[in-house]
Structure 1
Amino acid sequence: MDAARCVHQRVRHASCTACETACPTNAWQSTGDGLTFDADACDRCGLCVAACPTQALTLPAPQPLLARQNNGAQAAWWRCERAGPPDHPANAPCLLALSPAWLHLAARRLGVHEHVFVPGDCSRCARGAGLPEWQRQWRGQAALAASRGFALHLRLAPAADWPTSPDAGAPADLGRRRFFRRAAPPAPVRSSPPLSSAREDIWASAPTTPPPAPVAPLWQVDFDRTRCTLCLACVHVCPTNTIFFIAARADSTTTRFGFDLQKCTGCGLCTAACDSGALAPPKPTPSDGPPAHGPESWPLRTQRCQRCGVDFRQFASADGNPHLTCPTCAQGRPARAGRIVQTSPP
């Protein structure tokens, strides 16, 4: 565990329970003292690694079996440890630990366009509770891949179809890597650039069809501009630059504040840092959710408070009438003169 990446380490009142919710053995627990981990209860399924929005957790990366298909193209084969006869080699404790974002990244690094899954019976497995969320994320990632010109397919196969011939393929060496951060291509091994987030422009080098079609984000954060004081705490704590502030100069007319929800991982740091209630906790976007759109931002202007004389930022309102007082003075606190005094020595 990389504590510096965990939201509970960064913001005391963080509300993220991703690892705790994903863990089928209750190895992760939230207590009054913080987040605790019981190593004896862990079965190394990897679901918490895939669920962590800030990639604070690490396990050895799984290794797919690369097998050539009838059409001559290679596919990556993945088998759950609870699927088929025990003498068949499993290369993933749980297929739900292979996050859709990581599968798309691994496919591009491995040069394959198809993942073949040999699953166990998820309906009889405690790990299967995460299947609906996995499917939702797969739909979002598939749409994002299609908009970037990268076609990737997922196919289910029975255990009897697992490639066994010597020339069917060989395990790809992905080594001990972060699930979300890095995946190595087949031999000859080449170093791959690390990604600081599972949502950070996975398709940077993929062919695009300009302009790429926007897709619905996987997470939605509700924002109430009327409650926002533009303290920018959310901007400073967001690990993926989902919330941004742009200003060339303090008085620049191009100063803007906005969101790019395509980068949001649902970590909840922004809502934990917001003390004005302007941000609602992130929630998954349903498959039939709001229409897709790109980054959204609003122009700002700088105003000098007529009460305390401090410069502050505010949203440029449609009617052009600026607020005359800063958020602190607007709360109605009375001005107190002479609160700082110097006394003469005795």
Structure 2
Amino acid sequence: MSLSPGWFKQLKQEWVIPEVIPERCVHSLCEVASCTRCVDACPQEAWLLDDASLKIDTSRCDGCGLCVAACTESALVGNSPVVEITPAINRRQFLRKALVFSVEDSMAPPVALPLIPFVPMLSLANCNGCDACIKLCPHQALQLENSDDEQTLAYRIQAEHCTGCGICRDVCERDAVEVRQMQPVNQQVGNTTIPLVQARCKACGSHFHYPADGNAVKQHCRICAQTNHHRQLFQVY
């Protein structure tokens, strides 16, 4: 059996080893990122993730492209998965399927609210206002808003910008951030504003802010509260 002259070139084009775009991969943006989408999607276990880097074993990769499709950050360049197309059906089969679908639609329950793929949720009781999630979010799904008169501050959660990378959750030292999936759109989900209380630390005098949580009042910034600095400031040894 003879092979066409360009068979090797065609095979090389179809079998592409995925490459990582560092500026998009969450592991390049955050050392404590816990995203494992490409690792979990690979049927050949070709992706290797450790504390230092994300690598691929080219001897195992078959170029299927499932990791490329699984990455919500578009941080991988390679082949897209092959999609199987349903064969064409004749007129009789089409009418039969249409009748089945019409009966199923008439028996279906009311249409539910549209869903948002990823929604960051903030625990007001746990958040200490460090702004780590705000500063590291690569898509500005979490923002710190300042009023025109600079008298009021607020956190704004724009879920439509969230890709579910999980950096906000991974960097939170208080476990105050949760990323939920497939949430229905309502008043509590989507574009949410969380008012912030502005205060001045009674120990070090620095200005800080934290989410308004009922009648809870904080007198010390997160640094002084964590180190008990306000208790040791005037202690004599």
Q: Is TM more than 0.5 here?
A: yes
State the shift of 1:251 in Å.
4.5
- 8 Å contact kept, 2:22–2:28: yes
- Rounded to whole Å, the distance in 2 between the matches of 1:160 and 1:24 is 32
Higher helix share: 2
- Rounded to whole Å, the distance in 2 between the matches of 1:225 and 1:263 is 21
More off after superposition, 216-225 vs 19-28: 216-225
Number of the residue aligned with 2:199:
303
- Rounded to whole Å, the distance in 1 between the matches of 2:149 and 2:223 is 20
TM-aligned CA distance change 1:160 to 1:233, over 3 Å = same
The answer as to 2:144 corresponding to 1:276 is no
- Rounded to whole Å, the distance in 1 between the matches of 2:119 and 2:211 is 22
- Rounded to whole Å, the distance in 2 between the matches of 1:272 and 1:247 is 25
Q: Which runs of 4+ in 1 moved over 4 A?
A: none
- 8 Å contact kept, 1:13–1:272: yes
Aligned counterpart for 1:56 among listed residues 75, 86, 96? 75
- Rounded to whole Å, the distance in 2 between the matches of 1:310 and 1:56 is 39
Normalised by the length of structure 1, the TM-score is 0.49
TM-aligned CA distance change 1:317 to 1:222, over 3 Å = closer
Number of the residue aligned with 1:36:
55
Number of the residue aligned with 2:117:
218
SS of the equivalent of 2:40 reads: helix
TM-aligned CA distance change 1:247 to 1:15, over 3 Å = same
- 8 Å contact kept, 1:28–1:38: yes
SS of the equivalent of 2:116 reads: coil
- Rounded to whole Å, the distance in 2 between the matches of 1:241 and 1:309 is 30
SS of the equivalent of 1:21 reads: helix
Aligned counterpart for 1:328 among listed residues 223, 227, 230? 223
Unaligned residue ranges in structure 1 (runs of 5+): 61-91, 96-116, 119-156, 162-213, 339-346
- Rounded to whole Å, the distance in 1 between the matches of 2:194 and 2:34 is 27
User: What is the aligned-residue RMSD (CA, Å)?
Assistant: 2.8
- Letter aligned with residue 223 of structure 2: T
TM-aligned CA distance change 1:265 to 1:257, over 3 Å = same
Number of the residue aligned with 1:189:
none
State the shift of 1:32 in Å.
4.3
State the shift of 1:44 in Å.
1.8
State the shift of 1:284 in Å.
2.9
Unaligned residue ranges in structure 2 (runs of 5+): 1-19, 91-112
- Letter aligned with residue 199 of structure 2: Q
State the shift of 1:247 in Å.
0.9
Q: Deviations over 1:270-309 (max 9, x none)?
A: 11211121113x3432xxx545443111112321112221
State the shift of 1:6 in Å.
1.0
- 8 Å contact kept, 2:66–2:81: no
TM-aligned CA distance change 1:19 to 1:250, over 3 Å = farther
Show the 5 A alignment for 1:239-318: 239-248=138-147, 251-253=150-152, 255-280=153-178, 282-285=179-182, 289-292=183-186, 293-318=189-214
Aligned counterpart for 1:15 among listed residues 15, 31, 34? 34
SS of the equivalent of 1:3 reads: coil
TM-aligned CA distance change 1:278 to 1:93, over 3 Å = closer
TM-aligned CA distance change 1:330 to 1:251, over 3 Å = farther
Number of the residue aligned with 2:107:
none
> What is the aligned residue count?
191
State the shift of 1:59 in Å.
2.2
State the shift of 1:329 in Å.
2.5
SS of the equivalent of 1:29 reads: strand
Aligned counterpart for 2:136 among listed residues 223, 234, 237? 237
- 8 Å contact kept, 1:47–1:94: no
SS of the equivalent of 2:23 reads: helix
More off after superposition, 227-236 vs 289-298: 289-298
State the shift of 1:252 in Å.
1.7
Q: Which has the higher contact order (CA 8 A, sep 6+)?
A: 2
